[in-house]
Structure 1
């Protein structure tokens, strides 16, 4: 089952595309803005992207460039812009195909099947860091100027959750639920203790953290 992200600001069209794709056994996520699309790509990379250019917050071409900076995922532009210059701009930015609205669903599906035949590769980025410390989540290692820093299994769970959402707020209740399960919901003090310990190990100034940031009363964020 291929995972497809469909991005368009027309709810009726999103619904029609989702129904048609799911009926053909695709897994479908939808987004109504460019930022939602980029966030979705960062959290769950799709195997193909169907993208409108006329989004309310970002130009679709900028979304293409943002996706292309991290993924070699196939992209089909689905747009009401029939101007040749717009098509060239989108294709030059990294789109693989361009379908003009109104369109025939069977043709769009045929084009989707065609681009899914080629392999998708990920462009590796630099490893995440907290100050001078390099974090390898896959190997569960932290390496700094003086060698390896040891984190406990619970600290690793918290760090991995925060780093999966760089720059974004992760509610404290979500961390408690994912790390400790239902029984952790009423124990925010657990989280404060572990974050304090992690800051002592990783922050240059634990009292004024730059990377493992608290949003009082709401949650925490990893700030790259």
Structure 2
């Protein structure tokens, strides 16, 4: 099995984008309840790229160090989910989530906890929605907060041995008039992405069947 043989076609990518958008809209609703203010989340695009390419994409867009919340997931397809922010955005996010009334030091002190909770809500909503709409179930580990470069987050090996692919999702994230950009990435090996592709084909066939 090669990366080319399991690349998503336009219909599959559109279906996955729609599924993920439903997931992030549920996450936005959960965050709205948590912070008592409007939260807007959307995923305008999904790309399937190598881990090396994902690291390059994010380093081209972001000059600063990155902060990520990571959760592993397992089920019919398995992998590692990351919610990634530029470091400057992560503190902005904490200010928004905590109501903007903390001192600079308090924001720094609370950053880890607030990021883990926010990441948990967003990643869980995305993955639970994917699993539910594809009629499967996934198990997730507790969130972990990481800092580093794109190469570190995407586990790029210097010898080029990593063969995983990344579902790379750009997200627009607006809360309390703060514009916060981020990324969701799901690192999967080829067999897992192959299973996901098959499940998307089943999902599309069901929809087509329902509209006939």
TM superposition score normalised by structure 1: 0.22
As a proportion of its length, which structure holds more strand? 2
Task: Find the structure with the greater CA-based Rg.
Answer: 1
TM superposition score normalised by structure 2: 0.23
